[in-house]
């Protein structure tokens, strides 16, 4: 008995010690990194020169000097980064910060100008107070260490920069959040609060029958389950903003990673560069282009097929309430089933491949898209049936519609053209006098185009795609070109005040040397995906010049646009 008791006590002590160690071990929840004063000043100087305001950085320093009554940032080491971290031991959430200093007392003299009080409470430890909130600061080896308690200052490493994990070298400012390090009880509490909030909207509505209510609540439950899975499987989120003075660009990175071995990690693993049959939709000079390639994971397929099943249930249930005859109901049911069958089979193929292009010209907008699709014959059958129904109901549709209008590169085009009424002068000014919609059906692809002359654009994209078949592209890329957008606004805006600014910028656009793109690109990273939104030098310059022109514009607006060779 004594041996058993001693063994039990020993195990209890070990478990207790283990629990204490676990509780004391801290993990990082949030990291905020700031590259430092000198880096930000250099970026502002760069941006100011681009925008025709070379004194931007100097102006910032002048403002700081004014706000601090001539002291500036005395005592701050402007060459080093700043940082802050939020940690947890599962019970508490201490916050730590650090600022590089050359003289903490001099910096505190600046800070006190903002109604912040300070007093020394221990050897070298200052307590600073603002509106009843206390923080503790200590200078150590060129750093002002900041914590919520005097004891907490001892938890910071000798070199606090290691807490930033290099973020300050890559970004001007960055925030990294570790979702997996959120203590499980708190994570569960957040999930429960989300569920409770959702339950409020899940009450049966007046006039909502039991079937519709069951469908709606079922879809809501699926959405909640997906959100819960996401919360439990995420690893980290990162937002990082930077100015690259070498390339002349500014960019925002959005990184999302999943915990290893999770379903979410499996999904992210499918985000890789791939070969596309729609590369031709990436046209230089277009207002917007987009490309997407990839392979769906088993989880993606299951989720998409479940969503399609929900749509099918809702759509078919809705048909029964439309008062259709038996013949009409049978036809409509068949059309919906056929259309959703096409989507279902395409999802089963696990293949994602699509391209989009938008062009803007004076009085003309044209859009075209193409994508890989399964069972295209069934889709074409649906298109023809819908066209025939529309023709029966409206003779004007019959005149405007041409089924099997043309076959090009093995793709069958079905076209409908409508003349914009004379009464819609503003619409005609934007879109052109004729609005044409084209549906194209290939053996394993489908196309949609619309605009004043979309068939020309679509053929150009198809030809270009044919010459670049199998081209390797990123998992996703969207490119916006600002020049055609600004020109289109300048030439089509009806209000003089609206068109004034774009008209003034047209001349500047010619000087951008093609550096007028905003590009969003997604690429794979371990267990996740990284999306970068990049703004080229010309856009940064354009923003600066636009701000200057807006500030210089008289209250009544400019009476005329400046000459193109001297837009200012």
pLDDT at 428: 63
The predicted model gives 43-63 an average pLDDT of 80
d(CA 378, CA 519): 36
Give the separation between CA 180 and CA 236, rounded to whole angstroms.
7
- Closest CA relative to residue 535, chosen from 506, 507, 515, 549: 515
The larger pLDDT score, comparing residue 21 to residue 210, is at 210
pLDDT in tens, 117-158: 878 888 788 888 887 788 999 999 999 999 988 888 887 888
For residue 3, is pLDDT > 70?
Answer: no
Residue 540 near residue 250, CB atoms below 8 Å = yes
Q: What is the DSSP letter of 426?
A: H
* Whole-number pLDDT of residue 2: 41
Cα 533 to Cα 51, 278, 477, 561: the distances in Å are: 20, 22, 10, 32
DSSP 560: S
pLDDT band of 12, cuts 50, 70, 90: very low
Residue 177: what are its φ and ψ, rounded to 5°?
-120, 130
| Residue, of 255 and 217, whose pLDDT is higher | 255
Report in angstroms the alpha-carbon separations of 416 from 419, 434, 453. Answer: 10, 10, 12
Q: Write b or e for each residue in 97-130: b if 16 or more Cβ atoms lie within 10 A of its Cβ, otherwise e.
A: bbbbbeebeebbebbeeeeeebeeeeeebbbbee
pLDDT tens sequence across 497-547: 555 666 666 666 676 667 889 999 999 999 999 999 999 988 888 776 665
| pTM (2 d.p.) | 0.84
* Mean pLDDT of all residues in 190-213: 79
Burial class from Cβ neighbours inside 10 Å (0-12, 13-18, 19+) for residue 87 reads buried
Whole-number mean pLDDT of the chain?
84
At 392-437, the pLDDT tens digits run 877 887 788 999 999 999 999 999 988 776 556 666 666 667 889 9
- The CA distances from residue 223 to 82, 133, 220, in Å, are 40, 40, 5
CA distance 192 to 565: 62
Q: Which residues pair with 414 in a beta bridge?
A: 439
More confident site: 24 or 215? 215
Question: Which of 449-482 are b and which e, b meaning 16 or more Cβ less than 10 Å from the residue's Cβ?
Answer: bbbbebbebbbbbbebbeeeeebebbbbbbbbbb
Whether residue 6 has pLDDT greater than 70: no
pLDDT digits (tens, 9 = 90+) for 538-553: 888 877 666 565 545 4
Residue of 358, 39, 17, 375 whose CA lies nearest to 174? 39
DSSP class per residue in 436-500 = EEEEEE-SSEEEEEEESSHHHHHHHHHHHHHHTTTEEE-SEEEEEEHHHHHHHHHHH-SSHHHHH
- Is 80 exceeded by the pLDDT of residue 357? yes
Residues 6+ apart with CB under 8 A from 565: 507
| Per-residue pLDDT tens over the stretch 456-481 | 999 999 999 999 999 999 999 999 99
H or E element that contains 172:
none
């Amino acid at each position: 008995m004594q041996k058993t008791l001693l063994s039990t006590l020993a195990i209890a002590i070990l478990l207790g010690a283990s629990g204490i160690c676990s509780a004391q071990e801290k993990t990082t929840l949030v990291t905020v990194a700031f590259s430092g004063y000198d880096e930000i000043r250099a970026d502002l100087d760069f941006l100011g020169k681009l925008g025709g305001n070379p004194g931007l950085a100097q102006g910032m320093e002048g403002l700081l000097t004014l706000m601090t009554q001539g002291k500036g940032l005395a005592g701050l080491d402007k060459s080093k980064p700043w940082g802050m971290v939020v940690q947890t031991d599962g019970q508490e959430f201490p916050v730590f910060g650090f600022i590089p200093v050359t003289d903490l007392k001099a910096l505190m003299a600046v800070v006190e100008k903002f109604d912040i009080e300070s007093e020394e409470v221990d050897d070298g430890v200052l307590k600073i107070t603002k509106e009843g909130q206390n923080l503790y600061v200590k200078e150590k080896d060129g750093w002002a260490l900041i914590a919520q308690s005097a004891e907490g200052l001892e938890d910071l490493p000798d070199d606090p920069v290691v807490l930033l994990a290099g973020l300050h070298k890559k970004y001007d400012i960055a925030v990294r959040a570790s979702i997996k390090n959120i203590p499980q009880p708190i994570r569960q509490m957040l999930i429960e609060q989300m569920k409770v909030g959702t339950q409020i909207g899940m009450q049966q509505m007046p006039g909502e029958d039991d079937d519709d209510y069951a469908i709606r609540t079922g879809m809501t439950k699926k959405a909640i389950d997906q959100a819960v899975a996401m919360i439990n499987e995420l690893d980290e989120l990162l937002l990082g903003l930077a100015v690259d003075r070498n390339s002349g660009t500014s960019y925002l990175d959005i990184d999302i990673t999943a915990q290893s071995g999770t379903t979410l990690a499996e999904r992210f693993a499918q985000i890789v560069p791939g070969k596309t049959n729609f590369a031709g939709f990436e046209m230089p000079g277009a207002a917007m282009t987009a490309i997407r390639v990839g392979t769906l994971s088993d989880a993606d397929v299951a989720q998409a097929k479940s969503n399609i099943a929900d749509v099918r249930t809702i759509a078919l249930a809705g048909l029964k309430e439309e008062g259709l005859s038996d013949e009409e109901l049978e036809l409509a049911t068949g059309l919906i089933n056929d259309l959703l069958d096409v989507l279902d089979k395409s999802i089963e193929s696990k293949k994602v491949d699509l391209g989009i292009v938008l062009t803007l010209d004076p009085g003309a907008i044209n859009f075209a898209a193409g994508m890989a699709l399964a069972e295209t014959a069934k889709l074409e059958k649906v298109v023809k049936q819908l066209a025939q129904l529309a023709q029966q109901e409206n003779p004007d549709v019959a005149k405007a519609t041409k089924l099997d209008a043309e076959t090009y590169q093995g793709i069958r085009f079905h076209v409908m053209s409508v003349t914009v009424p004379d009464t819609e002068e503003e619409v005609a000014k934007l879109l052109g006098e004729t609005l044409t919609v084209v549906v194209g059906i290939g053996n394993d692809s489908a196309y949609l185009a619309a605009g004043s002359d979309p068939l020309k654009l679509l053929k150009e994209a198809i030809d270009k795609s044919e010459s670049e078949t199998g081209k390797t592209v990123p998992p996703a890329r969207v490119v916006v070109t600002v020049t055609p957008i600004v020109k289109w606004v300048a030439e089509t805006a009806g209000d003089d005040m609206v068109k004034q600014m774009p008209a003034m910028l047209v001349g500047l656009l010619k000087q951008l040397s093609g550096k007028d793109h905003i590009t969003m690109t997604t690429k794979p990273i371990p267990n996740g995906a990284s999306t970068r939104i990049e703004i080229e030098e010309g856009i940064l310059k354009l923003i600066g010049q636009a701000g200057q022109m807006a500030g210089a514009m008289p209250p009544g607006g400019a009476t005329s646009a400046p000459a193109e060779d001297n837009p200012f």
